[in-house]
Structure 1
Amino acid sequence: MVTLERLKEVGVQFARRDVEGIVGCFAEDGVFRNAVGAVPEGESYQGHAAIRAFFTGLFQRTPDVRWDHTAEYVTADRGVTEWRRTATLATGERQEWLGCDLYTFKDGMIVLKDTYIKVVR
C-alpha cells in the first residue's frame, strides 16, 4: 500500500526539479506516460535512463516549470495528484494548464505514472 506521505515525497522531487530524485522514485522498469504523443496512451518512457532523459530535457526547455498540487489521494497501491502546471518556453511563451497524474506503486516505487492535461489554446 502507498501512503499519502510517499506521494508527497514524489511531489517534492518534482517541485525541486531534481532529476535524480525523480528517477529514484521509479522502479527500475517503471513507466512514465506523457500526456502527449503519437498514440492514444501518450509517449511512454520506460526505465531509469529514458525517464532521466525526458525530465532532463523538460527542465532544460522550461527551467521554471512547476506543478502546484491542488489535491492528492491514495488508495491501496494507487495515487492521484491534481495540479496546475505553469512554465515559460525559451520563446517567452507562457504555458498554464490543469492536469493530474495517476500513479501505480509497488513496494513504494512508481511502476506507472500516467499524466493527463487540459491544454489551453
Structure 2
Amino acid sequence: MFQNVESVSWDAVDTRIFGDKAYCEFHRIAKLKSGEVQDFLSIDVFTFRDGLIIHKDTFYKNRISP
C-alpha cells in the first residue's frame, strides 16, 4: 500500500462516540512517487463489544483538486 507513497498525512476532523459505535472523520493527503496527489475525506466506523473493537468500516471520498 505504501510502496508508491512519497509522503502522507492524516488530519483528524471530528470524532464522536455514541453507544457501542465510534465515528472518526479525517482528511488524508498523500503524494505519490509519480507526483500524483491523493486527497481523501474519510470516516472510520468502529463497533465495540466488551471493550474490544469487533468491526471496522472505512468510507472515503476521493477529492479532485482543480
* Structure-1-length-normalised TM-score: 0.46
- Do 1:97 and 1:117's aligned partners in 2 also have CA atoms closer than 8 Å? yes
RMSD: 1.7
Larger Rg computed on CA atoms: 2
User: In the alignment, which residue of structure 2 is the partner of 1:109?
Assistant: 52
* Of 21, 40, 61, the match for 1:118: 61
Q: How many residues align?
A: 64
User: In the alignment, which residue of structure 2 is the partner of 1:83?
Assistant: 26
User: In the alignment, which residue of structure 2 is the partner of 1:32?
Assistant: none
Structure 1 runs, 4 residues or longer, greater than 6 Å off: none
* Of 60, 85, 98, the match for 2:3: 60
Decide which structure has greater helix share.
Answer: 1
- Do 1:66 and 1:86's aligned partners in 2 also have CA atoms closer than 8 Å? yes
Q: Within 1, Cα distance between the matches of 2:53 and 2:25?
A: 17
User: In the alignment, which residue of structure 1 is the partner of 2:14?
Assistant: 71
Q: Which amino acid aligns with 1:77?
A: D
- Do 2:42 and 2:61's aligned partners in 1 also have CA atoms closer than 8 Å? yes
- Percent identity among equivalent residues? 38
- Structure 1: runs of 5 or more not aligned: 1-57
